[in-house]
Amino acid sequence: MSGNLEQFLTELSRGLDKTMVSVNKEMTLKTRIQRTWSMRQCARFLNVSVIYLQKFSRQNEDFPAGAYVGRERVFTVHELMHMRALLAGSAKRPYDYLAWRKREDPLPVISFASQKGGTAKSLTAAHFAQYLSLHYGMRVGIMDADPQSTLTLYFVGGEGLSAMPTQNTPSMVDFAGLFASNEAPYIDHEPAVLDRFFLKTQWPGIRLVPAHGETSEGEIQIARLVSERPKGKAFYRYLRDAIERWRDHHPPLTAPQDLVEEGRVNKQKLESALNETLDCIIIDYQPALTLFQLNNIIASTSLVIPQTMKGFDIATLSTFVNGLLGMIRQILKNERLDIGAGANMLLPTIVQRTNNQDINQIANLLEYCPAEVLPVFYLRSDSISNASDMYQSVYEYQADTPGKRKGIDRFIENADAVNDALISRLWPGLERGYADQWMDAFYQDDGEDA
């Protein structure tokens, strides 16, 4: 029987390899971000009025030319970043346009984690990273800890990752130094080496440590190290130590107002600044509570738990929370360590508005632990499948019919509200009010329906 299974897996693997050739070719040939944005949409991202942005464009020769679709002038994500730099160069509050981390600021590390698959965890992490780029110009490091590589799929097709990663592509296991060398049971990589593990994407300032099948070896390597008990490092600190080592050698050096010289953006300086450091790191957790995933939690300053609201899902969430709590308490007995010192929250996802069970579960959670649960959540939407079929998020997907555009626009409103709610917890004061607007509309409509 084992021979039959081996043959089945061998043949299936060959078939999948051939299929991935065509997938990689499709991803390599197509432009990653096809969507462009109007002047009005760019003004919204920049948090200025469209009248102000139009006037600014006329007064600045270096303002991006954009392109015309009919009579409408549209801009790419790179041109949007150029606008940010140009505005920051003449603004009294330059960080309003480029919300970059200052030298004295800590580096937020935000984990999106759940023990159950299918909770929109990777989708939530991808959309949050892109939201930070579009609305704040932040430099975001993404770490995909899930061997299924779902988050990686959202960013394949750039200078640093033109096709799906292979087993030779460095992953988080490499970043954490979990592969042994000839001299030591693990590797403390130099900061410059760690920086090279972050691959560029087509989103300016967003870099990715991708995942693939080899990422699952992280658990094997941790188990090996636990049994060997090498001196010098606790089994839960490999990723945290690596991130801190990288952080200490890659501080913010460039201020937003320094990007403009004689009225023009210094493109070389902007490109260098976008890659000199990160303003936050986002980790997409594998849906399992393992020692390798525990490393991700210990490395994080904030934990976001995306979770569906069915009864069985709540039971799974309870198991995850209690298991994680037990692990952390055991660690704290042995070491005084700041774990998740930032904002931590539960994010309901794929909520069906007409499903009383979903709504009641959220109502109960908001009653029993209101500070821990976001009152804004992802509603179930069929529109996201249209974008996912193209390996794209809704922020980059260009819908080709009025019906699809309407559905995508509704989902974007929902995503903006969720991301604004996350911002309000993680960076209080930077929120744009999208979450409040969504809650006013949702809960008012809900009351009227009743």
Check residue 439 and give its pLDDT: 95
Dihedral pair phi/psi, residue 320, rounded to 5°: -65, -50
CB 176 within 8 A of CB 238: yes
Lowest mean pLDDT across 45-49, 143-147, 255-259, 399-403: 399-403
Dihedral pair phi/psi, residue 200, rounded to 5°: -65, 150
* End-to-end Cα separation, the chain, in angstroms: 58
Lowest mean pLDDT across 29-43, 310-324, 405-419: 29-43
Kindly list the distances between the CA atom of residue 402 and the CA atoms of 388, 399, 405, 406, in Å, as whole numbers in the listed order.
18, 8, 5, 6
Mean pLDDT (the chain, rounded): 89
Check residue 13 and give its pLDDT: 63
Query: What's the one-letter identity of residue 13?
Result: S
Partners of 402 in the β-ladder: none
From edge to edge, which strands make up the β-sheet containing 67-69? 37-38, 72-75, 67-69
pLDDT grade for 1, boundaries at 50, 70 and 90:
very low
Spatial separation of the C-alpha atoms in residues 79 and 74, rounded to whole Å: 10
Domain boundaries of the chain, sorted by first residue: 100-449
Check residue 316 and give its pLDDT: 87
Residue of higher predicted confidence among 127 and 4 = 127
CB 232 within 8 A of CB 288: no
pLDDT grade for 357, boundaries at 50, 70 and 90:
confident
pLDDT grade for 217, boundaries at 50, 70 and 90:
very high
Check residue 32 and give its pLDDT: 63
CB 302 within 8 A of CB 426: yes
Percent of the chain with pLDDT over 90: 62
Spatial separation of the C-alpha atoms in residues 23 and 45, rounded to whole Å: 32
CB 142 within 8 A of CB 125: yes
Class level of CATH domain 100-449: alpha beta
What are the residues whose beta carbons fall under 8 Å from the beta carbon of 314, sequence distance 6 or more?
307, 361
Spatial separation of the C-alpha atoms in residues 38 and 135, rounded to whole Å: 14
* Segment (H or E) for 38: strand 37-38
Has residue 2 got a pLDDT over 50? no
Which residue reads 């005084």 in tokens?
A: 336
Has residue 21 got a pLDDT over 80? no
Spatial separation of the C-alpha atoms in residues 283 and 290, rounded to whole Å: 15
From edge to edge, which strands make up the β-sheet containing 109-112? 199-200, 206-209, 140-144, 280-284, 109-112, 302-307, 345-348
pLDDT grade for 180, boundaries at 50, 70 and 90:
confident
Single pTM value for the model = 0.92
What pLDDT digit, counting tens, does each position of 364-379 carry? 889 988 889 999 999 9
What pLDDT digit, counting tens, does each position of 244-295 carry? 999 999 999 999 999 999 999 999 999 999 999 999 999 999 888 899 999 9
